[in-house]
Amino acid sequence: MDKRRTIGLLLLSCFVGCQFRSIDTGQLSDDDDIPSTSEIIRITPSVQESIGIKTAKVSSQVLPNTLRTTGWLMTIPGNESIIRARVTGFYDPNPSDPRLQIGTQVTRGERLGTLRTALSPQEETQLVIAKEEADVLMNQALVSKKLAQNQLRGIQQNDANQAIAGTRLLELQETIERNDIAYREARDKLSYLPTEPYADEIILRPVPITAPLTGHVSAVNVAGNQLVIVGDPLWTVSNWSQLWIKVPVFVDDVSTISDDSPAIVSLPGKLEPFSAAPVDAIVAAAPGRRTVDIYYELANSDGKLRPGQSISIELPLGDLQEQRVVPRSAVVWGGNGDPIVYVRTAKDSFEPRQVQLGSGSKAVVAIKQGLDEGEEIVVRGAQAIYGEQHEEQLDVEDDD
């Protein structure tokens, strides 16, 4: 008997639950198949005033149609450089800044460290021979110069014993100048050659490493006292103050996109959209693909965006159309990523309505489905209402 009673109660509960479910799903929008959410939020007028809720009616506006798609951020060509080792040797950091980490800001020409050149025994022998040859050339130049100067001095003093033809005067002057040049050239080589007395290990002057551009260190491949081979990557310096957005577009759609109109970009974590200027970059398409990449430029002064990050973008099309629009501040995004607009149903009641967005501008966005023209919606304070709507749900989750 108890078993039958239990089964009966379960059936009754299921029946009651289905009745409530039918009431919720019955609250559909009159516009197409976009449903409203299942609850009405009630907020007293005094609370509405305190949180700054402002409403307006859905209106119409002529807007260009847009193509909503996804793009990827990338570094502008020429704004990223890989610093490589100029010689084989050991890396010595700057004593004032011993560690270069990812994110460290550097300026063009800034010294990032030095390389102590590592020499093989054959290279050391060659350097010693070059040093000795330079010394010989310097001494020979000094001797020749001195002899020529003595002869020239005798001619200038009209010494009868050393008097010679006038053409000899020019030859001596040329000899002195040639030896001066030979001496200076040999002397300039000494700064790149080992000094005497030669030690067991020949040490050359360190080779400085400087930053080729202003930016931030985005990759580190070397540590202090590490041996690197000539051509090894040491760091990557990137300038991300401006980024490009690479947008793949089907070939059939390329001709419909406006070449001189900015695109509207929705950034993650930002309520206000941004505009991206078109870039006239002629880049070849990859064989075998049905898409062509077009590019837009986006300011990134705060450095929050990263190359490789996906981004939502609306590409402007050429044709215009009258559409229902709402301010972008009226749209909030639900937990599943669905756009929601709050419709005022009474003085103290608001209904969350799921909508389908269309094209737009920096200030407004078109509504394809979910709202009718003339409906009163929340244009300021929608985020506060969303918080009130989900406050109880968050409290329950915290208790668990």
The pLDDT tens digits of the residues spanning 217-242 come to 999 999 999 999 999 999 999 999 99
- In angstroms, the CA 77 to CA 238 distance is 10
User: Where does the pLDDT of residue 202 fall: very low under 50, low under 70, confident under 90, or very high at 90 and above?
Assistant: low
Q: What is the dihedral of CA 363, 367, 370, 371, to 10 degrees?
A: 70
What does the pLDDT read at residue 158?
63
Lowest average pLDDT, out of 137-146, 200-209, 279-288, goes to 200-209
User: Mean pLDDT, to the nearest integer, of 363-386?
Assistant: 86
What is the DSSP secondary structure assignment for residue 330, as one 8-state letter? Answer: G
Mean pLDDT rounded to a whole number for the chain: 79
| CA atoms 167, 172, 174, 175: torsion sign | positive
Instruction: State how far the alpha carbon of 67 is from the alpha carbons of 253, 256, 313, in Å.
Output: 9, 10, 8
**Residue 206, preceding bond cis, omega within 30 degrees?**
no
Lowest average pLDDT, out of 34-38, 290-294, 305-309, 353-357, goes to 34-38
Q: Is 253 or 391 the better-scoring residue by pLDDT?
A: 253
Report which of 274, 332, 334, 360 is spatially closest to residue 71, judged by C-alpha positions.
274
Q: Treating both helix axes as pointing N-terminal to C-terminal, what angle do 166-189 and 121-156 enclose, rounded to 10 degrees?
A: 150
User: Mean pLDDT, to the nearest integer, of 72-81?
Assistant: 94
According to DSSP, the residues that pair with 346 across neighbouring strands are 349
User: Mean pLDDT, to the nearest integer, of 311-321?
Assistant: 83
What does the pLDDT read at residue 166?
60
What does the pLDDT read at residue 66?
81
| pLDDT over 70 (residue 165) | no
Phi, psi (5° rounding) for residue 168?
A: -65, -30
User: How much of the chain, in percent, has pLDDT values that exceed 90?
Assistant: 22
What does the pLDDT read at residue 248?
93
| CA atoms 73, 77, 80, 84: torsion sign | positive
Find how far residue 375's CA is from the centre of its chain.
42
- In angstroms, the CA 99 to CA 112 distance is 9
Report which of 133, 96, 129, 140 is spatially closest to residue 114, judged by C-alpha positions.
96
User: Where does the pLDDT of residue 17 fall: very low under 50, low under 70, confident under 90, or very high at 90 and above?
Assistant: very low
Structural contact between residues 375 and 58, judged by C-beta atoms closer than 8 angstroms: yes
User: Mean pLDDT, to the nearest integer, of 205-213?
Assistant: 91
What does the pLDDT read at residue 214?
93
User: Where does the pLDDT of residue 399 fall: very low under 50, low under 70, confident under 90, or very high at 90 and above?
Assistant: very low
Report which of 68, 33, 56, 28 is spatially closest to residue 328, judged by C-alpha positions.
56
Question: Residue 288 in 3-state DSSP?
Answer: coil
Lowest average pLDDT, out of 25-29, 98-102, 113-117, goes to 25-29
Q: Which helix (DSSP H) or strand (DSSP E) does residue 79 occupy?
A: none
User: Mean pLDDT, to the nearest integer, of 268-275?
Assistant: 71
